[in-house]
Amino acid sequence: MTHQKIVIIGPAHPIRGGLAAFNERLARQLAAQGNEVSIHTFTFQYPEFMFPGKTQYTKGPGPADLRIHRTVHSLNPLNWRATGLRIRKERPDVVIIAYWLPLMAMSLGSIARYIRKNGHTRIIGLVHNLIPHEKRPGDALLTRYFVNSCHAFITLSKEVLADIRKLTDKPAVFSPHPVYDSFGDALPATAAKQHLGLDANKRYLLFFGFIRAYKGLDLLLEAMRDERIQAMTNLELIVAGEFYEDRKKYEPLLSDRVKVISDFIPDGEVKYYFSAADLIVQPYRTATQSGISQMAYHFEKPMLVTAVGGLPEIVPDGKAGYVVPPDPKAIADGILRFLAQPPGVFDAFIREQKQLYSWEHFVNTLGTLQ
């Protein structure tokens, strides 16, 4: 996909989070391969009462190397028409629309319908999730409305690709979530621990990212209470991420072996947490794919994931870490199995696998949908 006029519609600065980071990194790769690229992000994304975190927005100036326009209001049909007509008039060759939540189906699907009436622009749905983790009445109807507005789809997991196949026979491809390589390079563990005020002699597990029920933090906290884990006095868990639900439900499971940084971690700090960790733990109850896995690959860290959704596709058991059932005892078993291994046992495979998750490969796969 080169030498084209491409528009990405979805979260970007000043919206914060993984979706924004993905869209911005995708824009950079498309531009690096010779395309003219712009992003249309939200003036209004979620009503505040529907957003479980502290804020939807990041501080500081936007990236100077990207053309980001704040145009989309997720709840205003007049805005959908104005945005769609504006982009339709620009006649981009391709519009890539990020989709992750049925709440966004009406706005994104309507904008797509206005654009495609120019008879020129191809609409590609970049589907992170088709079926939401937390289901609500009307989800299927809304999702179908978005699906019907696109010409083709690219997914980040085989599970989501299978979900799309149930709704449409339009062109659709799977390409693994590329590595998140925009957070800086890995540091020596000793330097990272010193920066974070951690004990240089201890080993650390890391749970990273926002906290919701489907991510299974409670399962991991239960695993930390396992007698075998408790006997390992040099092991601690770092929970680094903002609570998107009531923290009180987790309080009884916390201990002095668990360090909680209950805040959104700025991009510049991410490298310290991953560099300090020995093992990245994703104890999810449900999943499609996870950007956390690709952050772990970037920082060349082994992972412990649960056998749900697309996670086992990305983290082959016994090669990039371990895959276990979403159960506290199984998670504890996996942690102990990892700690019994000599340091660096997964390093060679992780470095090799990391090369498969390039942004160039993702964009080249995207190009097959034209």
- Does residue 53 have a pLDDT over 60? no
pLDDT for residue 345: 95
- Does residue 284 have a pLDDT over 70? yes
> How does the average pLDDT of the chain come out, rounded?
92
CA angle (63 as vertex; 62, 64 as ends), nearest 5: 110
Q: How confident is the model over 306-313, as a mean pLDDT? A: 90
Which residues, in sequence order, are bridge partners of residue 211? 243
- Does residue 3 have a pLDDT over 90? no
How buried is 182 (Cβ within 10 angstroms: 0-12 exposed, 13-18 middle, 19+ buried)? middle
Closest CA to 363 of 31, 60, 77: 31
CATH 3.40.50.2000 range(s) for the chain read 189-354
pLDDT for residue 134: 67
- Does residue 1 have a pLDDT over 70? no
Q: How confident is the model over 215-226, as a mean pLDDT? A: 96
Q: pLDDT by residue (tens digit) across 65-82? A: 999 999 999 999 999 999
Sign of the Cα torsion 215, 221, 226, 231 reads positive
CB 79 within 8 A of CB 87: no
5-174 maps to which CATH number?
Answer: 3.40.50.11930
Residue 197 pLDDT level (bands cut at 50, 70, 90): very high
Q: Within a 10 A sphere around the Cβ of 38, how many other Cβ atoms?
A: 19
CB 1 within 8 A of CB 363: yes
pLDDT for residue 2: 64
189-354 maps to which CATH number?
Answer: 3.40.50.2000
Give the rounded percent of residues in the chain with a pLDDT score beyond 90: 77
CATH 3.40.50.11930 range(s) for the chain read 5-174
Beta strands in the chain (DSSP E): 5-9, 36-44, 68-73, 94-99, 122-127, 152-155, 172-174, 203-208, 235-240, 258-261, 279-282, 303-306, 321-324
Comparing 93-102, 240-249, 330-339, which segment has the lowest mean pLDDT? 240-249
pTM metric for this prediction: 0.81
H or E stretch covering 165: helix 158-165
Rounded distance, CA 101 to CA 127, Å?
A: 9
